C-alpha cells in the first residue's frame, strides 16, 4: 500500500476508535440479552433437529419463537423460514391487520421500494393494498427527517395503522434511533390510542440497546438474512409483537384457521439459533465496516451519510461518488475482494421495478444477504453507492481500502 493510502487508513482508524469502543459496549449488552434468552428458554440440541410434514408441535420452531419473545420483549413471534424475504413478513403484517376501508399512514416519507408495490404506489401487483380498498396516506419528510407535528396532524380516528421505517433504505434521510421511534409513537397514540404502531425494523436489530418493541411499538418485522440471522440463517424473516396482532398475521402467513401452529423445516434449525447467538457480534462487525467506509471516503473528500463519529441505528453508509466511473470502480473493488464470485465485474443494468440502471456488488454465501458485505446504487446523479454489511471487519477493511485505492488512482488521472 502506498504512503497516501496508508495515511488515509490510519486517519480513518483513529477517527473510528471512540465509536468502535461504544459499539463494543452495545454488542456486549445485546450479547447478554441474547444469552439470557437462550438460558431462560433452556435451549437444547434436540431443538436443532430437522422436521417435516405439517410440523405440529415442532420443537425447533416453537423454541426459536419463544427465544425471540424474550429478546424483543413481546408476547408473540413468528420466526419462519417460510417467509421468502423481509418484504414478505412486512406485507404479511399489512395484509393481516388492514381490512377494506382501513387507512394506513407512512410516518416517515415514502416507504422502502418493495413496500411501494405492496401498497400499490408503484406497479400494479395483484392483491396490493390499494386494490383491496385500503387507503394510504404519507407524511412527507421535513429537512431530511421526520416531522412530529405533521405526523400528529395526519393521525385521526380513521388511522388504523402507522408504519414507521427505521432504516433510511435507499433514501438520503437519517435513520431512526429507538428514541425517535418512541417520540413518533407517543404522538400517534396521543391522537389515537387504537392506532397500531408497526415498525419496519430491517437493518436495525442489535445496533442499539433498545428495540422498537421496548419503546412502544405494537408489532415489528425484519429479515433473517440481515442482522438477526447473524450471517448463518439461510433464509426467512420474523414478525413479533402483541399476541392478538401476531395471531392475525399468522392466519395470513399460513391459511385462515391454520394460524401459527404449523410449519416444518427439513433443513433443521441450528443455523437460526446459532445465527441469532452470533447476531450481536456480527451486527457490530457490520456497523464497524459501515463506520470505516464512511471515515475512509470522508478522508478522500467525498460526502458520506451518516457522517462518521456517531453511533448508528442501521448498517448503511451512503457514499456520494460524483461519477458513474467512480461507482463502477467502487463496485468492482468490493466484488473482487469478496469470498464468492470474486472474478465477476459488476456492470450497471436495468432491474425490474427501478427507473435507473442499478450497479450491485455482492459476493455472498447466502444469496442477496446484506448482513454480508455488499454495495449497490442507482446510476444517476449524484452517483450514490450504498455500502452495507460485513461479517468480518478485517474483510471489509481490505475491500474498502481496495476501493479507496482504485478511486484515488482515478482522481489522479
Ligand atoms: C431490506 C429491507 C426491507 C426488505 O427487503 P427484503 O429484500 O425483502 O428482505 C424492507 N425495508 C427496509 C428498510 C429494508 O432495508
Do the Cβ atoms of 330 and 406 come closer than 8 Å? yes
Q: What is the pLDDT of residue 58?
A: 98
Q: Quick one: cell of 243?
A: 399476541
Strand partners, 163: 106, 198
Query: Cβ(82) to ligand 1 under 6 A?
Result: no
Q: What are phi and psi of 387, to 5 degrees?
A: -105, 135
Say yes or no: CB of residue 117 within 6 Å of ligand 1. no
2 Cα to the center of ligand 1, angstroms: 39
Q: Whole-angstrom Cα distance, residue 206 to residue 209?
A: 7
User: What does each of the 413 residues of the chain score in pLDDT, given as a tens digit?
Assistant: 689 999 999 999 999 999 999 999 999 999 999 999 999 999 999 999 999 999 999 999 999 999 999 999 999 999 999 999 999 999 999 999 999 999 999 999 999 989 999 999 998 999 999 999 999 999 999 998 999 999 999 999 999 999 999 999 878 788 999 999 999 999 999 999 999 999 999 999 999 999 999 999 999 999 999 999 999 999 999 999 999 999 999 999 999 999 999 999 999 999 999 999 999 999 999 999 999 999 999 999 999 999 999 999 999 999 999 999 999 999 999 999 999 999 999 999 987 757 789 999 999 999 999 999 999 998 999 999 999 999 999 999 999 999 999 999 988 88
Using CA atoms, how far residue 243 sits from 31, 59, 77, 246, in Å, is 26, 20, 8, 5
Cut 0.95: pTM above it: yes
Q: CA nearest 370: which of 34, 87, 152?
A: 87
CA 314 to ligand 1: nearest atom: 15
Instruction: Decide if 349 contacts 325 (C-beta within 8 A).
Output: no
Index of the ligand 1 atom closest to the CA of residue 200 = 11
C-beta pairs of 338-345 under 8 Å, 24+ apart in sequence: 338/362, 338/363, 338/364, 338/373, 338/399, 339/363, 339/365, 339/395, 340/364, 340/365
Span from the CA of 368 to the centroid of ligand 1 (angstroms): 11
Q: Which residue from 155, 221, 167 is spatially nearest to 194, judged by alpha carbons?
A: 155
Q: Is residue 313 within 8 Å of residue 176, measured between CB atoms? A: yes
Amino acid at each position: 500500500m502506498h504512503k497516501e493510502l496508508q495515511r488515509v487508513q490510519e486517519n480513518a482508524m483513529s477517527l473510528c476508535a471512540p465509536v468502535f469502543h461504544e459499539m463494543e459496549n452495545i454488542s456486549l449488552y445485546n450479547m447478554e440479552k441474547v444469552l439470557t434468552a437462550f438460558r431462560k428458554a433452556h435451549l437444547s440440541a434436540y431443538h436443532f433437529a430437522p422436521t417435516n410434514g405439517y410440523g405440529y408441535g415442532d420443537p425447533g420452531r416453537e423454541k426459536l419463537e419463544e427465544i425471540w419473545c424474550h429478546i424483543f420483549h413481546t408476547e408473540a413471534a413468528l420466526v419462519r423460514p417460510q417467509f421468502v424475504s423481509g418484504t414478505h413478513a412486512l406485507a404479511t403484517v399489512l395484509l393481516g391487520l388492514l381490512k377494506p376501508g382501513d387507512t394506513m399512514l407512512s410516518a416517515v416519507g415514502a416507504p422502502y421500494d418493495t413496500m411501494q408495490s405492496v401498497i400499490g404506489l408503484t406497479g400494479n401487483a395483484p392483491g396490493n393494498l390499494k386494490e383491496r380498498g385500503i387507503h394510504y396516506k404519507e407524511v412527507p419528510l421535513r429537512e431530511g427527517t421526520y416531522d412530529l407535528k405533521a405526523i400528529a396532524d395526519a393521525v385521526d380516528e380513521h388511522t388504523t395503522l402507522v408504519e414507521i421505517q427505521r432504516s433510511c433504505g435507499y433514501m438520503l434521510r437519517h435513520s431512526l434511533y429507538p428514541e425517535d421511534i418512541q417520540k413518533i409513537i407517543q404522538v400517534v397514540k396521543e391522537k389515537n390510542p387504537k392506532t397500531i404502531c408497526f415498525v419496519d425494523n430491517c437493518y436495525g436489530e442489535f445496533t442499539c440497546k433498545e428495540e422498537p418493541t421496548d419503546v412502544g411499538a405494537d408489532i415489528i418485522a425484519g429479515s433473517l438474512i440481515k442482522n438477526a440471522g447473524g450471517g448463518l440463517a439461510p433464509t426467512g424473516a420474523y414478525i413479533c409483537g402483541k399476541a392478538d396482532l401476531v395471531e392475525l398475521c399468522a392466519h395470513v402467513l399460513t391459511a385462515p384457521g391454520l394460524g401459527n401452529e404449523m410449519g416444518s423445516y427439513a433443513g433443521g434449525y441450528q443455523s437460526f439459533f446459532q445465527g441469532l447467538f452470533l447476531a450481536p457480534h456480527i451486527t457490530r462487525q457490520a456497523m464497524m465496516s459501515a463506520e470505516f467506509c464512511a471515515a475512509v471516503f470522508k478522508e478522500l473528500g467525498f460526502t458520506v451519510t451518516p457522517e462518521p463519529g456517531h453511533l448508528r441505528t442501521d448498517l448503511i453508509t451512503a457514499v456520494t461518488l460524483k461519477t458513474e466511473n467512480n461507482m463502477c470502480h467502487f463496485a468492482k473493488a468490493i466484488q473482487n475482494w469478496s469470498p464468492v464470485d470474486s472474478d465477476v465485474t459488476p456492470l450497471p443494468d436495468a432491474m425490474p421495478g427501478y427507473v435507473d440502471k442499478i450497479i450491485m456488488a455482492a459476493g455472498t454465501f447466502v444469496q442477496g444477504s446484506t448482513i454480508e458485505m455488499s454495495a449497490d446504487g442507482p446510476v444517476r446523479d449524484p452517483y450514490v453507492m450504498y455500502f452495507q454489511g460485513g461479517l468480518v471487519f478485517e474483510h471489509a477493511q481490505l475491500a474498502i481500502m481496495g476501493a479507496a485505492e482504485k478511486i484515488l488512482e482515478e482522481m489522479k488521472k
